Structure 1
């Protein structure tokens, strides 16, 4: 039943992506196991929808295969790779196809691709043109479902229909560049069977469910107040970008706490913001003494965001050190949510056990280089296993870590 559901879900996704498939030439590459079985079910549904379907079988037993028999009953042409040693028939079929469906290998591949399978993929690569739509069943052949690594023979898809749940490798680089449009096919797995999965893919629809309703009689005090500590003489634009983002997502009042050295350059750029000019150092950076000004302003704010464009001068590091000491665990600000970003994070590096001075509700938003500095890792080490590194950092520090990049990872203290 699951295979039938999978094939139906994939065929439906193809039709929704392509439109009317009547008369459309579809080549389905069929491998062994369930992935190939899904491809055979797809063949049947697309044929019944009016497509001109052909099958190319690799390493698949034909005896007793009910789905293959159903394809034969429909007179769907079948080519066996072992009977096409120079891939001439494959080359001809692929050249004239409108849609090529990759149902060769699924999640079980572990060994490097070689031999006939490598020849099939390389032949498709040679003849594939921009007019061809390549559809991957569950995941592109050659993409590792667990870590996103890619075999040199792998082909990038235009559409990937993954079954049941997204696979981690589809969302991690470099594999995510091979996925194209990602569709999750419902194959009838009960929701209760997936309830304990700790990893979730967040979509726009998921986020929309968490957005609070906007009161039609609300005012700026109704929707929360954000205090943003940002900017320096070298990074004036960062102050505007972060303020504009806070305003865009609906904060009722946004205050920019910025060095007075750049106040004249920034004031009025985000017209909705208010301003708290802070003492500046000799180079236009925020002065260490400015921490007292920020602490004094905190009552009444729901969020304190620190870091964008602050720079990394010694005076700025001392500001962060003092801000943590005076405000981090101050019970007066128990309900305040800290968000530490950019140079706010970079200036934590020389501060001993800085995470113990931040509230547990804090959110850290590093890009790979910033997370690497905090952990003493090279960027390549972070990128090699983004999921594991983000999880371990969140658990070690007891904070939410938002690792930015191609498919952002949000990790909680519970992993």
Structure 2
């Protein structure tokens, strides 16, 4: 699925309007889509529509009209001035009997069977809501705390459609229906927390990417290249991965990365680091000696450097960085990169920071995840995987992982991801970061489906193989 920021979404609105499709018709299509989803809710109480300025306000009038025409009890509260097109829909709503109120109802008037339709602020938000808008957002969130369902049109009011940040107060919706264009801010940052259940309706306007260039792309199993393996393949043809990590007291980090690389399909995995008796027998040990590491590097098709490495592996990291072997830099490898700032790497490589590591690499915190990943690429080169809810992969174009669940928030989860990407790199897979992020998340989804509310990182290893089946060529 193609995703758009606030500017591109507006350009798309204009593009379809110029094609001869009346804007008021699009507005009513949006209202119909929203109402069709609202009708699925097991709520039979009053429908409170909140209309703000711009087209989102017109959508709210359309929803109020459809709700009234289906026999529901409806009230509408208007704040701000409507757009020219929205006024057309609003006039029709008044004619069919939608009641317009100037004051918000008391929360005491509302029940847990009621529904609030949020059409207050749309994709044009570029500053913190203030004044009456801030008051309304607070009122809606209080109503939600009392059990009222909140449904947002296009995007929860207060959420930035471009960045997934909330510059001020924002509505925490139970359901969000994106209309005409899928908004990238709904999938990353605060988007997954604020949107609730997320749906998309194209309003009958197909192939938006042919009208306006998308800003990003959603990662799905359909747009990941299939992993190809021949029937005659063997460990020698499936690639060799070298893991540099698991030093000091962090032996498990290196082992998790190594086993994940094997589970992702690498034929062999060398590991330079862990010195303890319970090291998995599938991993081939490399002495923590620079010459031994150099020899292993020469026999490897990819390297994962940094999981649990500590601060004493600088010479090894420098050797890996200066080689032409495809490289995944993770954890302490990224700390070394931020500290040493070596010359640009000639060979292909991937960086896999979490937000804290990104802050270290950039020297400051960047709320806008899209700006952060772009800056990382500009400063250091390479390809980047910015972890977190709605992981970003890129740059140009940026891909967004739709899976956002705190089940992956456990020590060692990132080591598993680095190992998966490394295992795919070792096999010569064309887009290892995109597929690696998807496989990591899909493994977590399979664990959730099996009834696991929480996991430890090693739980992710087994379902990697099952997830891999879904992207392997038949």
What is the TM-score when the length of structure 2 is the normalising length?
Answer: 0.68
Task: Indicate the RMSD between aligned Cα atoms, in angstroms.
Answer: 3.4
Match of 2:61 in 1: 40
More divergent stretch after superposition (130-139 vs 252-261): 252-261
Which is greater in Rg? 1
Unaligned runs of 5+ in 1: 281-286, 330-335
Is residue 8–residue 42 contact of structure 1 (8 Å, CA) maintained in 2?
no
Distance 2:107 2:217 in 1: 37
Distance 1:62 1:312 in 2: 59
Distance 2:321 2:82 in 1: 66
Is residue 231–residue 239 contact of structure 1 (8 Å, CA) maintained in 2?
yes
Match of 2:447 in 1: none
Match of 2:208 in 1: 191
Distance 1:156 1:295, change over 3 A: same
Decide which of 293, 315, 318 is 2:315's aligned counterpart: 318
Decide which of 63, 78, 99 is 1:57's aligned counterpart: 78
Tell me, what secondary structure is at the counterpart of 1:257? strand
Length, aligned pairs only: 375
Decide which of 343, 350, 363 is 2:350's aligned counterpart: 363
Distance 2:254 2:169 in 1: 45
Match of 1:75 in 2: 97
Is residue 278–residue 293 contact of structure 1 (8 Å, CA) maintained in 2?
no
Match of 1:372 in 2: 359
Distance 1:214 1:52 in 2: 60
What is the TM-score when the length of structure 1 is the normalising length?
Answer: 0.77
Match of 2:280 in 1: 267
Distance 2:290 2:180 in 1: 53
Q: Please list the CA deviations of residues 244-279 of structure 1 after superposition, one character each: whole Å capped at 9, or x if unmatched.
A: 43344x3142414133623x22123xxxx341x222
- TM alignment of 1:16-415, pairs within 5 A: 16=37, 19=40, 23-49=44-70, 51-60=72-81, 65-76=87-98, 78-81=99-102, 84=103, 87=104, 89=105, 91=107, 94-95=110-111, 97-110=113-126, 112-129=128-145, 131-150=147-166, 152-174=168-190, 176-187=192-203, 188=205, 190-194=207-211, 196-197=213-214, 199-207=215-223, 209-212=224-227, 223-248=238-263, 250-259=264-273, 261-262=275-276, 264-268=277-281, 273-275=282-284, 277-280=285-288, 287-298=289-300, 301=301, 303-313=302-312, 316-325=313-322, 328-329=323-324, 336-351=325-340, 353-356=342-345, 358-359=346-347, 361-375=348-362, 377-378=363-364, 381-382=365-366, 384-412=367-395
Distance 1:373 1:99 in 2: 44
CA shift at 1:101, angstroms?
0.8
Tell me, what secondary structure is at the counterpart of 1:134? strand
CA shift at 1:345, angstroms?
2.1
Distance 1:242 1:337 in 2: 16
Q: Please list the CA deviations of residues 221-247 of structure 1 after superposition, one character each: whole Å capped at 9, or x if unmatched.
A: 565443333311411211232234334
